[in-house]
Structure 1
């Protein structure tokens, strides 16, 4: 199964604040916030949702196609991904802009305040997805991740027009997209990925009911942080999958991307809904124990062992093939 991943590629600036971010927010002063956090640590890492997911898939033995826009400063980053097995032939290099930057401050509770500068990502709409897919013989599934909104819409339309199976993963861009744009990106998706907050935001901005969304997508996967994930399909009861416990929760940045990589790898192997989510949770736990989004190491065999150790060797009832 060949998987293509579109979305952001970025350089992450990850900072750690030793206090609690929530304690610095005064309920009667939220209309005029002026805060500066003195942080204890700064890590500069390769990141971006598309690259993070592609990294995880490559670690699990896949050769995903990465389709995104970057700056000329991407060269060392791209070489590293290529050496790991990511196909970077679909990456567009801007002549004038730097690769996107993600700046994030995290507290001990896992709360985060972040900013994202798109840089070269603003040129992602110039990528012709079909041209990028053609040299490798197409794709069995395209994950459309957070990206320049025009690019997300263009890629979705290309998949829909040519009958290519796609997964909608709008994540951070839900805040930027309007209701009609979200509806277009989601409608007809084989899979829809959100976290718990994005789940509610998507409903609010589209005006759709929960049942409306389930009628328009094949599978809706919602990650729930330390509570695990929920997999939903129309006319089926929701499937709740607990998270995998980890001895040390080091850095939550990119954990959701690792979940998606683990989920998609299991989906590609023909696993049922429950096992896909379990595989995603097992890989997310590995990512959570590391600083940075592409610093964990794993293999398909190790992930299978971790998943079996956490959940047992058999898919629970209700885990029929997605």
Structure 2
């Protein structure tokens, strides 16, 4: 796969991206019985990846003032992620224990509570706070916070473009048939959706997941991207689809690879003006980028800017697999 062209500089006036969702501590349990603690949480990883790629990022989350929470604050802040008001409180920081197999693949168990504080909700719902909103994973599935996130997501569409990554955690969920309506509604109110083959295989047992991705692409979003791990990725839009291979790398583990893919994809689309705010200075208006994104997805052939974003996403995910834990690349790490 040829390298993408150099990434353009992020405009100094870029409206921040708001990421809503869990930040937690990953406890990595290796096949040899070793245990290591790393900052994690799918939305927090996406926020971290976007910040490392040069974008202003706000993160609305729920972490404590305990040692795990202090490490999370330092980890996120060092890369430029700004926590919204109310994101830190006197609560235990959530944890996820990732049990790694010999190939580095992770299976998770969780100790988590999810709810946004009134201050966090107020800042998240404020018009003009962000040009783009991203959410997903536990934040959109676990009560009582999931309903809060959905309300913010629906209200944000007037002023921001929206992306969603189901990143399903079956250990925290009910039956697939019970979860399906919520996921499908979240897909329908999003502009960009990224999911893994594992997500769709669990959510639609016995169905062709590529047919599911096609249905999703016709239910509201302009782009639906499905990732297959070492099998690469495919993107669907109303008029067609396109497949990209994954580069061969020496895998340390796969923790955070999907989140790095998501942040790379969003970065590429933001830089191309296909996501974010398009209003005048001091205003936030999603209509122009949303229109541009839908125009880019209106041909039978993949648009150059969409392909460039997918190439960036693929490289970001591959590089993350060569590192321990959720450690997405910076702009300097990529071509």
Q: TM-score, normalised by structure 1?
A: 0.77
Give the CA deviation at 1:127.
6.3
Instruction: Tell me if structure 2 keeps the 8 A contact 1:153–1:184.
Output: no
1:103-114 equivalence runs, <5 A: 103-114=97-108
Q: What residue number does 1:170 align with?
A: 166
Q: Distance in 2 between matches of 1:174 and 1:214?
A: 24
Q: CA deviation at 1:133?
A: 6.1
Q: Structure 1 residue 131 and structure 2 residue 123: aligned?
A: yes
Q: Would you say 1:298 and 2:301 are equivalent positions?
A: no
What is the match of residue 224 of structure 2? 220
1:310 maps to what in 2?
none
Matched with 2:62 is 69
Deviation at 1:126, TM superposition (A): 5.1
Measured against aligned partners, the alpha-carbon deviations of 1:235-281 in whole angstroms (never above 9, x if no partner) come to 22x111111222x2101111111111111111111172221111111
Question: Which one of 233, 239, 251 corresponds to residue 235 of structure 1?
Answer: 239
Asked if 1:79 is matched to 2:74, the reply is yes
Q: 1:39-188 maps to which residues of 2 (within 5 A)?
A: 39-73=32-66, 74-90=69-85, 92-95=87-90, 97-118=91-112, 121-124=113-116, 128-129=120-121, 131-132=123-124, 134=126, 137-148=128-139, 149=141, 150=143, 151-163=145-157, 164-173=160-169, 176=173, 178-188=179-189
Cα deviation 1:77-120 (Å, max 9, x = unaligned): 2133223211112552232x3111010111122343320111xx
Contact 2:47-2:81 at 8 Å conserved across structures: yes
Structure 1 CA distance, aligned partners of 2:33 and 2:205? 37
Report the counterpart of residue 288 of structure 2 in structure 1: none
Deviations 1:217-236 (A, max 9, x none): 22111111001111111122
Whole-angstrom distance in 1 between the partners of 2:204 and 2:193? 13
- Mapped to 1, the partners of 2:227 and 2:108 lie a distance apart of 19
Q: Paired residues, what number?
A: 275
Structure 2 unaligned spans of 5+: 1-13, 273-303
Instruction: Decide whether aligned partners of structure 1 residues 8 and 212 sit closer, same or farther in structure 2, where only a CA change above 3 A counts.
Output: same
Q: Structure 1 or 2: larger helix share?
A: 1
DSSP 3-state at the match of 1:172:
coil
CA distance in 2 between partners of 1:11 and 1:82 (Å): 15
TM-score for both structures, normalised by structure 2? 0.74
